[in-house]
Structure 1
Amino acid sequence: MSSGGVPYSQDLPPAGGYEPIRYKRNLPARGPGGIAIFGAVFGICAYGFYRVAAGVHEKKELEREKAWSRIHLVPMLMAEGDRDAYRREAAALAREKEIMKDVPGWEAGKSVYSTKRYTPASFVVL
């Protein structure tokens, strides 16, 4: 049965057939698994806590060193304060002698208190 002398050719599948249709989802693995993520988070947290503990230890050590340095510096600072107080008292005595040199019966440096105990000056003249 040909119509008009044109050879009729039916469209057929290729030899060997069509390739199978992929109808299943083909999702690749997306990153590490849950155990790996949990392990990484645990490791990072453990390292952070280690660094915090090391920082606390370092801070305590610095505070201890600071306290001991102050303990060892106290005698020197007290001696410097005593030297400064003596220098100021000597200067005040010299000023008093200079100012009151014309006043008869004035004893420079005599205590105004009626006691033999040492009483430091209650004000400082700069």
Structure 2
Amino acid sequence: MSGVHPGHGQDLPPAGGFSEVRYRRNIPRRGPSGLVIFTGMAAICAFGFWRVAEGNLERRELKRENLWSRIHLIPLLTAESDRDAYRRTQAALKRESEIMKDVPGWKAGESVYNNKKFYVPPAYVLVPEEGRE
């Protein structure tokens, strides 16, 4: 050997042994536990889904109400459209007879075509000059 013998310059432990080595960290617990966090998130998600379901029901009810209001307004809107079309047709006939008053044999509103089977009188909307853009 290399001449190293016990008791000849080698360090030995002290007579009662070394003191205990503290290797654990003493960190205080901070914040909620995982179970508390999980329960809180589950509660928040449940509340959110409940609100989404309520919103879906409300939106569905509003759509139904809007549809039924349109269904009930169709007769009124159709009658208004018919009255407007009649008024415009009478005004167009009056304008035509005024414009063509000097043409002999001209009958306002009569078709200029020989075949009356497929003729549909035109429906137009006249826009005044100042209203055009």
* TM-score, scaled relative to structure 2: 0.69
Q: Counterpart of 1:84 in structure 2: which amino acid?
A: D
1:121 match:
122
Structure 1 distance, partners of 2:64, 2:112, is 46
Cα 1:122–1:70 change in 2 (3 A) is: same
Per-residue CA distance 1:46-83 (angstroms, 9 max, x = gap): 00011111111111111111111111111111111111
Cα deviation, residue 112, structure 1: 3.5
2:83 match:
83
Give structure 2 stretches of 5+ with no counterpart: 1-21, 128-133
Give structure 1 stretches of 5+ with no counterpart: 1-21
Q: Percent identity?
A: 62
Q: Counterpart of 1:86 in structure 2: which amino acid?
A: Y
Structure 1 distance, partners of 2:88, 2:48, is 56
CA RMSD of aligned residues (A): 2.3
* TM-score, scaled relative to structure 1: 0.72
Per-residue CA distance 1:13-61 (angstroms, 9 max, x = gap): xxxxxxxxx9864322211111111100000000001111111111111
Structure 2 distance, partners of 1:31, 1:38, is 13
Larger relative contact order, structure 1 or 2 (CA cutoff 8 Å, min sep 6): 2
